[in-house]
Amino acid sequence: MKQLLKKYFGYDEFRPLQEEIIEYVLSGKDCFVLMPTGGGKSLCYQLPALKLNGLTLVVSPLIALMKDQVDALKTNGISAEYINSSLSPVQIQKIQDDIVAGKIKILYIAPERLGSTGFKKFLMAVNVKLIAIDEAHCISQWGHDFRPDYRSLKLFKSEFSKVPIIALTATATPKVQEDIVKQLSLDDPKSFISSFNRENLAMIVTRKKRAFEKLLGLLQKHKNSSAIIYCFSRKDTEKIAMNLQAEGFNALPYHAGLNSETRKKNQELFIKDEVSIIVATIAFGMGIDKPDVRLVVHYTFPKTIEGYYQEIGRAGRDGLPSDCVLFYSYGDVRKHEFFIDQMEDEVEREKSREKLSQIIEYCETVNCRRKHVLKYFGEEYSFPLVSKDEEQKGCESCDICLNPNSMFDATEISQKIISCVIRTGSRFGRNYIADVLLGKDLQQIVDNQHNNLSVFGIVSDFNKDEINHIMKSLIAYGFLQTSSGKYPTVSVTEKGILFLKQKEALELPKMREDLEDQEGSVLRGKMQYDLKLFEKLRIMRKQIADQNSVPPFMIFSDVSLQEMSRYFPVDKNSFAKIEGVGIKKLESFSKEFLFVISSHIQENNLQSTEIPNRGQIHNIGRRIGSASPERYIKTKEMLCKKLSILEIADKQGFKYGTIVAHIEKIISNGEDVDIDYLKPSQERLRKIKIAFEKCGDEKLKPVFEYLKREYSYDEIRLGKLFYK
């Protein structure tokens, strides 16, 4: 399987769960796969298709996605086709003849194709060995994207009882997972649930103030990169696209109101890197397999967490760091509520309200956003370890963790808020409570005679936004709770009552400023490479892509180009080690790319660098628990060149202590590297050793105190490596 993986896809290692899933599929049993976008779902049926002696049938809901996947497979040297409404009867007949002749390994079809009696008879007559159902959540009415056509897929179990089925999706709550298995009548399937966590995505929520100005700043930071901007309405997409064009950005709109020809053209221009920005309604995206989208902006926040997670899943599918920014405002809440109110079906209306309240809760949370959204999908997230005994203080890639709140004494204001909730009868929402506390002369307050309460107007040192923020914190910390429904009310929990009675002190996070500068999150974990060479390779990639009438990413991904710009391969042997270079691509494209690389090396007096063992990179990343093992590899390379810690820190852009932590990890992982040249002086090392012998080596603080604070923690940590 690994030989096939390298030969056709250019990868040396499987991603998590891929190998186990493929082995299970090849054993001939049904399975359910839940894997986030960019996690490598397609490979779980594409690779088995190469080993099976027959046809693999793939059901996919979108024509654009089928074409992209078939084009990508053909570029890799794999025989694949699709049948859908975009083809003529003559074209379909030709494909069916090739299938009968055994010339095609993988066939993509739309679910409605199964409604054709003639097509069903054709399938019964050919050697179908595997059935893959992509976007399987579309079969469940509990999902966020139910499609009635998917219900016809039930026929597979009755008509192809001996053919294994693999159902795949990127977003499904536990309830939807159960429904998928039930609706498809899967036979005792094994479920493979991958982590929902996309470490390379920075998740940022910002207030929708000066929104267009903020958008321009984001796009400027992602200049020359692909971006998707999601809007609420067709009118918004047209307006924002036009305004971006006026600012000099290469942007086009995409929505259901455009004719199909314009939509198709705009989408193709985006896919082929002719246009860098698409401004769209949610009609855009599900059929997009573009791996190098670096920015996804929700100009209006989405209706559901499932929709949000699927839409941000279109960023960074190649695993490189990418930003997902959501603009949030109460005005947009009202827009969503207005459309929910128009729903005639009461059950659907209540379900939509519940979904909306869940995404609002995500936007308003005061805790780690990554942890919050993963919990929604039933996954507990633990912050990565930075040392043996200590974990990170946050995920380091959401606005909450990147820009942590400072705390303040919230005892008095919390007492006032809780008292106001109680005195108004626990029958009102947050805005009403804030208005009472601020002493607003509103008709509703007067009618309820709440202007006569002792809590009326008792807050003058906080504004309405700040009071609202404090109430959100009190809800998050369990002192208050909210009801469900269209108009959620606030009430006090037992914990809140106890807080009032015992008059305890309480610290809460201050209202945060917006994280205006997202650059830190974008650069986190980014590979260091030659930017000039990368741009030259991008130009070459575009030229070859145009010649072959395919999108540039199908020639090579950004990951491949970055590795070429990092290691400078100069011959076919070294070029073959670059991630994403399979046999077909090596033979087809290496000559042109090697010429560009060799010319750049000569012009700039550079040298080729040995490409690290792929398994080594994978193992370091897995054992360290880091999203960016590249930084550890870089530190190791500099250690081999005998650079000082200060020099390494300067070149890596890290603090001295961070490099010491790198060295600790590299040594603890058993890496073969000589660090004797970093050894402290004999006298200082002797004293550090004595301190460890006296105090033990479990904690550093006793050693620090024993040495009378004359040695820094970093020097003690370094000395500990030689002591051990």
Q: How many CB atoms lie within 10 A of CB 500?
A: 15
Helices of type H across 14-88:
18-26, 43-51, 63-75
Letter for the amino acid at 348? Answer: E
Q: Are 184 and 176 in contact (CB under 8 A)?
A: no
Q: Which residues contact 44 (CB under 8 A, 6 or more apart)?
A: 18, 21, 22, 25, 33, 35, 166, 168
* pLDDT value at residue 700: 75
Banded pLDDT at 386 (limits 50, 70, 90) = low
* pLDDT value at residue 627: 38
Measured over the CA atoms of residue 696, residue 701, residue 702 and residue 703, the dihedral's sign is positive
**All CATH 1.10.10.1390 domain ranges in the chain, comma separated:** 629-723
Top-confidence residue, 447 or 223: 447
**All CATH 1.10.10.10 domain ranges in the chain, comma separated:** 407-509
Banded pLDDT at 380 (limits 50, 70, 90) = confident
Burial letters 404-425, b for 16+ CB under 10 A, else e:
eeeeeebeebbbbbbbbbeebe
**48-96 pLDDT tens trace:** 999 999 999 999 887 767 888 898 899 999 999 999 888 899 999 999 9
Helices of type H across 342-491:
346-364, 369-376, 399-402, 411-423, 430-438, 443-447, 464-476
* Cα 664 to Cα 717: distance, rounded to the nearest angstrom: 8
**245-277 pLDDT tens trace:** 999 999 999 988 888 888 888 988 998 999 999
Q: Are 180 and 165 in contact (CB under 8 A)?
A: no
**All CATH 1.10.150.80 domain ranges in the chain, comma separated:** 527-604
Q: How many CB atoms lie within 10 A of CB 16?
A: 13
Banded pLDDT at 518 (limits 50, 70, 90) = very low
* pLDDT value at residue 93: 93
* pLDDT value at residue 287: 54
* Structure-token pair, residue 270: 């985006």
Percentage of the chain exceeding pLDDT 70: 91
* pLDDT value at residue 623: 38
Residues 331-355, mean pLDDT to the nearest whole number? 86
Residues 4-22, mean pLDDT to the nearest whole number? 88
Measured over the CA atoms of residue 401, residue 403, residue 406 and residue 407, the dihedral's sign is negative
Q: In the chain, how long is the greatest CA-to-CA distance?
A: 87
Which range in 247-251, 604-608, 711-715 is most confidently predicted, on average pLDDT?
247-251
Letter for the amino acid at 409? Answer: D
Measured over the CA atoms of residue 155, residue 161, residue 165 and residue 167, the dihedral's sign is positive
Radius of gyration for the alpha carbons in the chain, expressed in angstroms and rounded: 29
Lowest mean pLDDT among 163-167, 168-172, 254-258, 510-514: 510-514
**CATH class of the structural domain 407-509:** mainly alpha
* Cα 76 to Cα 236: distance, rounded to the nearest angstrom: 39
* pLDDT value at residue 498: 92
* pLDDT value at residue 108: 95
Burial letters 614-626, b for 16+ CB under 10 A, else e:
eeebebbbeebbb
* pLDDT value at residue 484: 73
Top-confidence residue, 65 or 189: 189
Percentage of the chain exceeding pLDDT 90: 38
Query: Does position 618 have pLDDT exceeding 60, yes or no?
Result: no
Query: Does position 102 have pLDDT exceeding 60, yes or no?
Result: yes
| 3-state SS class at 556 | coil
Main-chain dihedrals φ then ψ at residue 245, nearest 5 degrees: -60, -40
Top-confidence residue, 39 or 336: 336
**All CATH 3.40.50.300 domain ranges in the chain, comma separated:** 2-193, 201-402
Which CATH number does 2-193 carry?
A: 3.40.50.300
Q: Of 598, 555, 597, whose CA–CA distance to 580 is shortest?
A: 555
* Structure-token pair, residue 344: 């005639």
* pLDDT value at residue 270: 92
Q: Of 724, 617, 622, 615, whose CA–CA distance to 664 is shortest?
A: 724
CATH 3.40.50.2300 fits 629-723, yes or no: no
Helices of type H across 126-186:
155-159, 174-183
Residue 666 DSSP symbol: H
CATH 3.40.50.10310 fits 201-402, yes or no: no
Top-confidence residue, 63 or 686: 686
Query: Does position 591 have pLDDT exceeding 50, yes or no?
Result: yes
Q: How many CB atoms lie within 10 A of CB 599?
A: 12
Where do we find the tokens 């990565």?
384
Q: Rounded mean pLDDT of the chain?
A: 85
pTM: 0.68
* pLDDT value at residue 57: 95
Residues 216-242, mean pLDDT to the nearest whole number? 91
Residue 291 DSSP symbol: T
Partners of 82 in the β-ladder: 108
Partners of 239 in the β-ladder: none
**110-152 pLDDT tens trace:** 888 887 888 888 998 899 999 999 888 888 877 666 777 788 8
CATH 1.10.150.80 fits 527-604, yes or no: yes
